[in-house]
């Protein structure tokens, strides 16, 4: 815990929601994350951990405050870790648009300037943050990953790019085929450059289509059919097609009337937590 500075602590459903700040080597600057520790989490009884990746414009706070996940996490004995969505601060590059720069890291390691110095979110999530969490808190090596929108993209892609690291993956309204939608094209061009062959290695549909059985991971995707971004940005049909081609264990659930908001997430987060718990 020596690297961590506690920012806040709140009692919740018998457990603790806490925020911590530390100097990240991956992001080359200070960053913050939140963790929910259920009441059963002790040094004698460590618990599995779910990593939650949020969407565009979000921070570590959105999910913890709006999703209503603590009650089910307390019951099931699952810790939840919510990192920020990008590097922050005066030193980190930014853009005058909501879908690029701070708040829009896309969970990849940027190779292009001015982003490469700080925007290394993939390394941060799968290596640095994971190591800090497992060294500092009473959690086991059982890991799940989930997310929303840009974070759903991140959860799917990181599970595919790092086989065996997570026992299961789920997503709400993910960007399923970023190489073919405006959000993805803009971010990938800025962060990875013009070489589109590189983009496919950060696209869940492309990775899933080419996946081998050893990369397969139980996957649950929830999509609202009243989502305002469904047709232009999300493309879940591409993910379904890819899973059918490779035999990937994907379950897509579509929900009438639900949009892209946290009302949707709050309605089905317990189902997602129980899905992950069942994969232990």
Whole-number Cα distances in Å, 157 to 35, 95, 208, 280: 22, 24, 9, 21
**Catalytic sites, residue numbers:** 149, 227, 260
Q: Which two tokens stand for residue 133?
A: 């969490």
Can you read off the two tokens belonging to residue 94?
């930014």
Give the angle 73-74-78 at the CA atoms, nearest 5°: 50
DSSP-assigned beta bridge partners for residue 222: 172, 253
Displacement of CA 154 from its chain's centroid (Å): 5
C-alpha atoms less than 13 angstroms from C-alpha of 28 in its C-beta half-sphere: 12
Q: Report the run of H or E that residue 257 belongs to, with start and end.
A: none
Q: Is 39 exposed, middle or buried (0-12, 13-18, 19+ CB in 10 A)?
A: middle
- What does the alpha-carbon distance between residue 39 and residue 73 come to, in Å, rounded to a whole number? 10
Burial of 213 (0-12, 13-18, 19+ CB in 10 A): exposed
């Amino acid at each position: 815990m020596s690297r961590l500075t506690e920012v806040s602590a709140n009692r919740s459903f018998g457990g603790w929601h806490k925020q911590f700040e530390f100097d990240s080597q991956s992001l080359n600057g200070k960053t913050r994350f939140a963790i929910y520790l259920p009441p059963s989490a002790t040094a004698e009884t460590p618990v599995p951990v779910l990593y939650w990746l949020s969407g565009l414009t979000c921070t570590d706070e959105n999910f913890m405050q709006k999703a209503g996940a603590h009650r089910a996490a307390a019951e099931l004995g699952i810790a939840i870790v919510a990192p920020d969505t990008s590097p922050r601060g005066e030193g980190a590059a930014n853009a005058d648009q909501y879908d690029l720069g701070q708040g829009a890291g896309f969970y990849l390691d940027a190779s292009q300037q001015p982003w490469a110095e700080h925007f290394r979110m993939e390394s941060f999530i799968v290596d640095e943050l994971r190591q800090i969490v497992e060294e500092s808190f009473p959690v086991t090596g059982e890991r799940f990953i989930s997310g929303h929108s840009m974070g759903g993209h991140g959860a799917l892609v990181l599970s595919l790019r790092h086989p065996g690291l997570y026992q299961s993956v789920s997503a709400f309204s993910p960007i399923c085929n970023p190489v073919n939608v405006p959000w993805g094209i803009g971010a990938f061009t800025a962060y990875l450059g013009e070489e589109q062959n590189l983009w496919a290695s950060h696209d869940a549909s492309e990775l899933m289509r080419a996946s081998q059985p050893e990369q397969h991971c139980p996957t649950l995707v929830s999509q609202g059919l009243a989502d305002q971004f469904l047709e232009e940005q999300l493309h879940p049909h591409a993910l379904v097609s890819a899973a059918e081609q490779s035999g990937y264990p994907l379950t897509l659930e579509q929900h009438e009337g639900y949009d892209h908001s946290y009302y949707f997430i709050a309605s089905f987060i317990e189902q997602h937590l129980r899905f992950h718990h069942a994969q232990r």
